[in-house]
Amino acid sequence: MKMSMYQASLPVFTHMLKNLDAILAKGAAHAEAKGIDPQVLVTARLYPDMFPLTRQVQIATDVVKGCPARLSGREPPKFEDNESSFPELSERVKKTIAFLETFKPEEIDGTEDKEVTLKMRSGELTLDGYKYLTGFVIPNFFFHITTAYDILRHNGVELGKKDFIGA
């Protein structure tokens, strides 16, 4: 049986973005309950040369809004990358989910062989749709969501595996 590119991507992205939004809400609640300036958490990093929480969320949402857009031939929406608070990060996640919900399976299924070219800092990267989804988008998305989770967990937010995976 052939894999459905749609089922392997958009429902998974939407589910995980909803989990990310709930994780961000727990971060905001933690800051309030502990009397911590929320900026401490949204600008936190795991290590000085790593991106802060805000950038982790921005990259995760950019990767998944670009995926169905590129596979279907649409233009992905541009977000300003200027979020600096939990409410702004949450709004970005919700805008991304709303964009993903505009796609129908027939726009994504059958794009396994579609050529996708990405402009990277190191130059252009061209992949077929299947490799783009499974070897680029999915790993990047989960890396940045995991890092966002880890930043908050490292800073004392009470999170567990169920928060990451969801119900």
Taking 80 as the threshold, does the pLDDT of residue 3 lie above it? no
Pairing of strands 123-128, 115-120: antiparallel
For residue range 107-163, list pLDDT tens digits in order.
Answer: 999 999 999 999 888 999 999 999 999 999 999 999 999 999 999 999 999 999 999
Distances (CA, A) of 149 to 59, 85, 95, 107, 129: 14, 16, 20, 31, 28
**What is d(CA 15, CA 149) in angstroms, rounded to the nearest whole number?**
15
The CATH number given to whatever domain includes residue 39 is: 1.20.120.450
Examine residue 136 and state whether it is found in any structural domain, yes or no.
no
Q: Tell me: pLDDT of 68 over 80.
A: yes
Asked whether residue 39 is assigned to any structural domain, the reply reads yes
Task: Identify the pLDDT of residue 5.
Answer: 96
What burial class does residue 157 get, using C-beta atoms within 10 Å of its C-beta: 0-12 exposed, 13-18 middle, 19+ buried? buried
Residue 88 covered by a domain: yes
Angle (CA) 40 45 47, round 5°: 140
- The residue-averaged pLDDT of 7-27 equals 98
CA distances from 150 to 84, 96, 121, 145 (A): 18, 21, 26, 9
What does the pLDDT average to over 39-67? 97
What are the residues facing 128 on neighbouring strands? Answer: 115
Classify residue 27: in a domain, yes or no: yes
Q: Which domain holds residue 73?
A: 10-107+157-167
Calculate mean pLDDT across residues 17-39.
Answer: 98
79 lies in a domain?
Answer: yes
Residue 125 burial (CB count, 10 A):
12
Residue at 141 is within a domain: no
Structural domains counted in the chain: 1
